[in-house]
Amino acid sequence: MSNFDYIKAMDFDRAWLNFELDLPLEPGKDGSANPFYITRPGDPIAELADALLAPFYRPPKFFFSGHRGCGKSTELLHLMSNPRIQEKYWAIHFSIRDEADIIDLDFRDVLLAVGGRMFREYRKRGGELPARLLKDLDSWRGKVEEEVTTVTSGRVSGFEVSAGIDAFFANTSMKMRLEPTTRTLIRQVIDRDITGLIDVINSIAAAVKIKEGRIPLILIDDLDKPSLTEAKAIFQERREILMQPNCAIVYTVSSALFYSKDFDSIRDQALFLPNVKLHPHNLPQQYTPEGYETMQKFVSLRMDTRLMDRKALVDAITYSGGVFREMARIMRTAIGRARRRKSGQIESVDVEWAASEIRNEYRRILDKEDLLILKNIHEQNRMEYNDRIRPLLQLLALLEYRNGENWCDIHPVLRKLLSE
């Protein structure tokens, strides 16, 4: 989305674009905040910024999570525009999707991505690394290539020996994403010398720190996509290895890990991004003004609100549950419905249509026991550990909120389903 123009919509065509579901809000080239960005109630990302700015003996590592669609990517990008973060850190942000296969992800893939992306990004920005370091990296690259080609008798397609460290990192990234056989071989080679890879990462980080006078900060997005089993294997079983790189790192992690009893392994460095609270605890018929104002601003920055009836806007906010991606989804569906009606304005009938579309999806996948659990939670708004609750949270059938203590409620579109 780097070429996306953040222009307020004055018609439905532009509004459709502005409510793209996967639109992380990148800061301006001058580091300024994105025109569509809004500060959440309580400014929860400030907690992560404060933690990164605090004194430390070793560069910190944090595990950042939240519900699907709550805006984690946007908040990480916004963090990079923080002047104090820019002063202290040489920061990069990337998606693990660009470096590895998120369907088959391993801790070695993550470490290789950290080293490779830091090296490539520094070179891309015009940075020059010491000749001695480049020689050492090239020596390490040669050993890895030699072991891989020895195991396969040179049959790994496209794995160019002596291609240089720049090409090696780019080539390896592509193959880790697209070639399962090569991915397995590279992991085997790395596993025999995991300390060698850590040394490579630390050497690059040290050189960047000396050259730039700032500590590298790596913000890794989409690490929350792997399954709970894979998340445990990476962040619980290999936590100590992931803490070894001598640079600051923010790992995004699956919300499922936060709802697991294995959460203790990352508790001390964990931060959870809450949804926007739209009603007080156990009072679903009351409005929380600050929450509604936040979600209204989310819309008004993207679209002239004269394109939407006032009641329809309030209804849309209510149905969103305070989840930004759900709000964008409702707006897009309602825009499409209004256009088909040949209306110049989004009305409540369009928002109800959007809500029914989401509700129908849940109707297909929720069973009777799910509905019973949801009904009980809706009545009490209480968080209780239950193996069946975790998938409901991941499906956004349940949404977590905070006001001191954490609590949860059902996705608002489900209220009608539970009353049927």
Euclidean distance between CA atoms 54 and 280, whole angstroms: 33
Say whether both 159 and 197 belong to one domain.
Answer: yes
Q: Are strands 61-66 and 248-252 parallel, antiparallel or unpaired?
A: parallel
pLDDT of residue 94: 94
In degrees rounded to 5, what are phi and psi of residue 65?
Answer: -145, 180
Question: Considering the domain boundaries, does residue 101 fall inside one?
Answer: yes
Tens digits of residue pLDDT in 273-314: 889 999 988 888 889 999 999 999 999 999 999 999 999 999
The structural domain count of the chain equals 2
Beta-ladder partners of 93: 219
Torsion of CA 408, 409, 413, 414, to 10 degrees: 120
Domain extent for 335 = 289-419
Say whether both 103 and 236 belong to one domain.
Answer: yes
Say whether both 234 and 302 belong to one domain.
Answer: no
Say whether both 196 and 312 belong to one domain.
Answer: no
Distances (CA, A) of 143 to 45, 165, 196, 266, 392: 42, 12, 10, 34, 47
Say whether both 232 and 138 belong to one domain.
Answer: yes
pLDDT of residue 262: 65
Tens digits of residue pLDDT in 106-127: 999 999 999 999 999 999 999 8
Say whether both 335 and 266 belong to one domain.
Answer: no
Of the three residues 242, 273, 304, the one that is the final residue of a domain is 273
Which of the two residues, 26 and 262, has the higher pLDDT score?
26
Residue 162 has pLDDT above 50, yes or no: no
Tens digits of residue pLDDT in 38-57: 999 888 899 999 999 999 98
Euclidean distance between CA atoms 380 and 284, whole angstroms: 11
What CATH code is carried by the domain that includes residue 66? 3.40.50
Euclidean distance between CA atoms 167 and 365, whole angstroms: 46
- Look up the pTM and report it: 0.90
Residue 161 has pLDDT above 50, yes or no: no
Cβ atoms of residues 297 and 38 within 8 Å: yes
